[in-house]
Structure 1
């Protein structure tokens, strides 16, 4: 008799589709977060193509409300808000992606090594982590970014140095418990290499918490960058950045509230999208 698995061989032959369905779309909150993030990415690309030069000024048309020519209006210098919001979106999304990739790979790798080998590797890494945890993350990022204000590379390095610690702690703890499990001990007795054991035993356990932490880490990276813009040590003009835009447009909240609302709403939606993507399956 044919079963359901024999009737759907395509699903068994598409591990990428199965993985995406089980991680991003297994829960409605993740699907909503992914859709919202795709909308923001689309906005950043549309503004890139249609918004023009974000640094181009038209002082005679300052504080112009949204119109058919300028979809999101013009700011206090007569610059296109569509172009500036889209540029700030691309900057924030790029930073979030880079920070998540580097900090997750670096932290997870070191955590697995410390949890697997233990001894001096674990001792040395624990000392380094404790030193970094002694200083609050935002304070560390502010101090690091203040050394070279306006440098994207400096902001990226500072945030990555803060975020890899959490990946390290979680992966180290899970690896220590897995190494002592009967499954891995039996695999070692049967002669399977460390690569096989990591792929088939350790990574399947690490994958879910790492993806959840990556979503939260992306949201935190966006907030870190915006926080730096609030105190003028982040990305400097004429480049657009959401935190910097909020500070610049705040004095005009009464006469042009739609201008201040745009970076605030975009920042809130971006953080909300990442938080929804971090939702667990139920």
Structure 2
């Protein structure tokens, strides 16, 4: 009776968390896509006479220490970091899904070699691996994409390998093989429908992790190079002026907090 009584109260909580997460992500995406159209402006344009001034119609969040519109820099930063993160997650997810399925299906030396490779990469701190790649192509979106993809594919690989191994041994898959169906049909019909929710959850967490990594490296001056609008770089640039322009500093802080919270709520609600 207690289990039945608890069941109706759980689903509204999950839907509420998912709704809040989706609302935050959609709101920030709308700012990133429509913000520059509603209030046109150049994120790189400087006017030292407006340095650290408060909000006005053409700059709703005020100006930074170089007289650049914080709003327009935030709009472009909300495009850059999520796009890099989504591209990295897409590449890592595709690689992890392909290699994880291959390892589970083939086994033998292929499985052992891929497991050793993933364990070797997992032994390295993620940010260190990204920094190594950025040392080769410093301060570029391509460097972030490559480094984050190398970090994130391991998680997708491990999840896919563990789940697919059990699915491929199931009676339904064996029956499909006996009927002459190929690996593409088996994956599309039996494997993907089962692992899709888990992969989408991992993708949401991976996107949040990638955005946080980009901001963290920008905050310590090892990420995107100035004057590129990027959330971590904006925070470190505005930190010395927090007394004179607190709104300018809080804008990227609140934006990245809301974005990470939204993605985490979406991933957590899927997992529940």
Note the alpha carbon deviations across 1:100-155, whole angstroms, 9 max, x for none: 11111111111001101111211111121121112111221123223332111011
Tell me the residue number matched to 2:49.
60
Q: 2:73 aligns with which of 54, 59, 84?
A: 84
Distance 1:231 1:147, change over 3 A: farther
Tell me the residue number matched to 1:116.
105
Tell me the residue number matched to 1:39.
27
Partners of 1:139 and 1:190 in 2: how far apart?
49
Of residues 159-168 and 57-66 in structure 1, the stretch that sits farther from structure 2 once superposed is 57-66
**2:187 paired with 1:184:** no
Q: Per the alignment, in what secondary structure is the counterpart of residue 240 of structure 1?
A: coil
Unaligned runs of 5+ in 2: 1-13
Contact 1:51 1:80 in 2 (8 A): no
Note the alpha carbon deviations across 1:22-76, whole angstroms, 9 max, x for none: xxxx833222212211111111123322241111111111111112232111111
Give the superposition deviation at 1:200: 1.2
**1:1-282 equivalence runs, <5 A:** 27-49=15-37, 50-281=39-270
Contact 1:146 1:233 in 2 (8 A): no
Of residues 268-277 and 191-200 in structure 1, the stretch that sits farther from structure 2 once superposed is 191-200
Q: Per the alignment, in what secondary structure is the counterpart of residue 268 of structure 1?
A: helix
Note the alpha carbon deviations across 1:72-95, whole angstroms, 9 max, x for none: 111111101111001111001111
Contact 1:229 1:242 in 2 (8 A): yes
Unaligned runs of 5+ in 1: 1-25
Partners of 2:23 and 2:269 in 1: how far apart?
17
Of residues 155-164 and 125-134 in structure 1, the stretch that sits farther from structure 2 once superposed is 125-134
TM-score (ref. length: structure 1): 0.87
TM-score (ref. length: structure 2): 0.91
Contact 2:59 2:72 in 1 (8 A): no
Contact 1:140 1:158 in 2 (8 A): yes
Partners of 1:277 and 1:127 in 2: how far apart?
32
Runs of 4+ in 1 over 4 A off after TM superposition: none
Q: Per the alignment, in what secondary structure is the counterpart of residue 70 of structure 1?
A: coil
Q: Per the alignment, in what secondary structure is the counterpart of residue 278 of structure 1?
A: helix
Partners of 2:193 and 2:159 in 1: how far apart?
14
Note the alpha carbon deviations across 1:154-204, whole angstroms, 9 max, x for none: 111000000000000000011111111122112212222212211111111
| RMSD of equivalent CA atoms | 1.4
